[in-house]
């Protein structure tokens, strides 16, 4: 571990590891009935697994995240992992105490099998021949990885947004595999407005002439314009109206005066920012993965799958911590309250906090300090209870 750059609070240099799960004859059976396997899984771990194997925490990433939660891949890495502020020695997910795992989701494009992977039957990338995926399919792979790592029961599963959907599905699907569930800025189902924005993003991708019905991997360029556009519209939904106003307002990017030029696409700072976000995104994300993962979000509906939300969440004895954020309009507080009400009705242990934050849906990534203050005692108590019941 090299802490030279970040000091004692960083997990240091980490490498993404890979393993293969679900090899024949134990292939993964997906929600749509198709089978898939072997599945390559990219994951990272931080901290040490305790001798009792009772201190493992699984982090589920959101739509465009990856397994690289914390630390740096090289000493000169410009950027740390996506939740480096939360995961590390002495941090909210304290790697001095806990063994933290994160894996790229099934269908992703950051090392885990997804539509960009080679289809063993054809020797070519799957593209749209990759099977239809659900959040539950992602959780199945996560669950197998946990068992593969020799862990019977997780201390906690933690995630925000699509990651929070995975947390909820996990608690319903494998109720005994987790002692705690931490669901941030998420919901039991995607709202109609959320489906609508996803629909627009996918439309931008599939109408890009470079999409080639998903078979763009051997082309000079993929559907980069469409993918960037999808990111731009999604990015607006991650910010609050107030934060976008405070951050950019009507300020101009490179001038004191309005240009009065129609095709000046980046005149206002907010335009320049969105274009930048779009163009950076295509460097790291695969358009087909974007299609599959957003569709999995659309499909996620814990109530529909189990008859009622109360029933879906009644099988686990996990303790729940649920947070929403005052300015998040993509996953609203009322959606979190619906979860809380179902858990109360199911007589489960649940803590709920609506955190005040200006950052909209992105708050679950950005408002790390108040989250860490909630997480630390919650996890400590969960571990204490686990050890008391084991002794």
Name the catalytic one among 328, 336, 362, 363.
Answer: 328
The residue among 52 and 242 lying less far from a copy of itself, judged by its C-beta, is: 242
Query: Would you say the C-alpha torsion 320, 326, 330, 332 has a positive or negative sign?
Result: positive
Q: How many residues does the chain have?
A: 391
Alpha-carbon gap, residue 278 to 177, rounded angstroms: 38
Round to whole Å and give the CA distance between 134 and 138.
7
361 counts as catalytic: yes
Task: Rank residues 263 and 390 by Cβ distance to a copy of itself and give the closer one.
Answer: 263
- Asked if 148 contacts 19 with a C-beta cutoff of 8 angstroms, the reply is yes
Upper half-sphere CA count for residue 317 (Cβ side, 13 Å): 5
Phi and psi (nearest 5°) for 255?
A: -155, 165
Q: Kindly tell me which residue out of 2, 265, 373, 380 binds a copy of itself, with binding defined by CB under 8 A.
A: 265
Contact between 332 and a copy of itself by CB under 8 A: the answer reads yes
**Facing residues of 263 across strands?**
none
**How many residues belong to the site for a copy of itself (CB under 8 A)?**
55
Of the ranges 76-84, 171-179, 258-266, 342-350, which one interacts with a copy of itself (CB under 8 A)?
A: 258-266
In the complex with a copy of itself, the residue whose CB is nearer, 254 or 381, is: 254
Identify the DSSP state of 308: S
- Does position 236 interact with a copy of itself (CB under 8 A)? The reply is yes
The window from 57-65, 169-177, 299-307, 382-390 that contacts a copy of itself (CB under 8 A) reads 299-307
Select the span of 15-23, 83-91, 158-166, 222-230 touching a copy of itself (CB under 8 A). Answer: 222-230
How far apart, in whole angstroms, are the C-alpha atoms of residue 51 and residue 97?
A: 12
Confirm or reject binding of residue 250 to a copy of itself (CB under 8 A): yes
Residue from 123, 262, 283, 390 touching a copy of itself (CB under 8 A): that is 262
Cα angle at 26 between 46 and 133, to 5 degrees?
70
- From 91, 295, 319, 348, residue interacting with a copy of itself (rule: CB under 8 A): 295
208 tagged catalytic: no
* Contacts (Cβ under 8 Å, ≥6 apart) of 167: 60, 157, 158, 159, 181, 182, 183, 186
Nearest to 176 by CA among 149, 163, 159, 157: 157
Q: Token pair of 293, please?
A: 């993962």
CB of 285 to a copy of itself, least distance (A): 17
6-35 binders of a copy of itself (CB under 8 A): 31-32
Among 10, 143, 161, 240, the one annotated catalytic: 161
> Which of 376, 361, 364 is CA-nearest to residue 323?
364
Strands 156-160 and 56-60, sheet pairing: parallel
Is 203 near a copy of itself (CB under 8 A)? yes
Q: How far apart are CA 64 and CA 227, in angstroms?
A: 12
Question: Would you say 43 or 248 has its CB closer to a copy of itself?
Answer: 248
| Nearer residue to a copy of itself within complex by CB, 51 or 209 | 209
312 lies in the binding site for a copy of itself (CB under 8 A) = no
Residue 199 interacting with a copy of itself (CB under 8 A): yes
Task: Check 66, 94, 361, 363 and give the catalytic one.
Answer: 361
- Pick the stretch among 60-68, 90-98, 241-249, 347-355 that binds a copy of itself (CB under 8 A): 241-249
Question: From the list 5, 329, 353, 376, which residue makes contact with a copy of itself (rule: CB under 8 A)?
Answer: 329
Q: Closest distance between a copy of itself and the C-beta of residue 262, in Å?
A: 6
Cα 182 to Cα 31, 302, 346: the distances in Å are: 24, 16, 17
The SS3 of residue 160 is strand
Among 90, 304, 344, 377, binds a copy of itself (CB under 8 A): 304
| Active-site residue flag, 328 | yes
What is the Cα–Cα distance from 163 to 156, expressed in whole angstroms?
A: 13
Q: In the chain, what is the greatest distance between 2 CA atoms, to the nearest angstrom?
A: 74
As a dihedral over the C-alpha atoms of residue 221, residue 227, residue 229, residue 231, rounded to 10 degrees, the angle is: -140
Rule CB under 8 A: which residues touch a copy of itself?
Answer: 31-32, 128, 132, 189-193, 195-197, 199-200, 202-204, 206-209, 225-226, 229, 232-233, 236, 239, 241, 244-245, 247-250, 258, 260-263, 265, 268, 270-271, 274-275, 291-292, 295, 298-299, 301, 304, 329, 332
Residues that are catalytic: 161, 328, 361
């Amino acid at each position: 571990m090299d802490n030279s750059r970040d000091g004692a609070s960083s997990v240091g240099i980490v490498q993404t590891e890979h393993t293969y799960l679900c090899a024949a004859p134990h292939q993964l059976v997906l929600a749509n009935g198709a089978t898939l396997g072997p599945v390559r899984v990219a994951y990272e771990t931080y901290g040490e697994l305790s001798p009792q194997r009772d201190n493992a925490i699984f982090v589920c990433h959101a739509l465009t995240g990856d397994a690289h939660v914390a630390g740096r891949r090289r000493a000169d890495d410009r950027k740390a992992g996506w939740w480096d502020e939360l995961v590390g020695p002495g941090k909210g997910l304290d790697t001095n105490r806990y063994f933290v795992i994160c894996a790229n989701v099934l269908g992703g494009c950051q090392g885990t099998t997804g539509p960009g992977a080679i289809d063993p039957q054809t020797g070519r990338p799957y593209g749209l021949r990759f099977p239809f995926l659900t959040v539950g399919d992602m959780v199945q792979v996560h669950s197998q990885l946990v068992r593969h790592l020799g862990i019977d029961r997780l201390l906690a599963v933690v995630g925000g947004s699509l990651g929070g959907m995975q947390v909820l599905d996990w608690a319903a699907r494998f109720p005994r595999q987790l002692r705690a569930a931490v669901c941030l800025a998420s919901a039991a189902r995607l709202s109609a407005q959320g489906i609508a924005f996803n629909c627009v993003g996918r439309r931008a991708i599939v109408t890009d002439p470079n999409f080639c019905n998903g078979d763009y991997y051997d082309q000079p360029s993929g559907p980069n314009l469409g993918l960037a556009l999808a990111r731009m519209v999604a990015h607006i939904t991650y910010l609050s109206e107030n934060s976008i106003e405070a951050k950019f307002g009507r300020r101009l990017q490179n001038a004191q005066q309005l240009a009065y030029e129609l095709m000046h696409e980046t005149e206002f700072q907010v335009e320049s920012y969105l274009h930048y976000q779009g163009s950076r995104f295509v460097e790291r994300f695969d358009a087909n993965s974007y299609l599959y993962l957003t569709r999995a979000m659309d499909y996620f509906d814990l109530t529909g799958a189990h008859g009622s939300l109360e029933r879906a969440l009644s099988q686990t004895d996990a303790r729940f911590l649920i947070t929403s954020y005052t300015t998040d309009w993509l996953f609203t507080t009322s959606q979190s309250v619906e979860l809380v009400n179902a858990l109360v009705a199911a007589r489960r242990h649940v803590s709920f906090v609506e955190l005040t934050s200006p950052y909209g849906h992105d708050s679950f990534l950005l408002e790390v300090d108040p989250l860490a203050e909630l997480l630390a005692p919650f996890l400590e108590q969960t571990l204490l209870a686990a050890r008391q019941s084991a002794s």
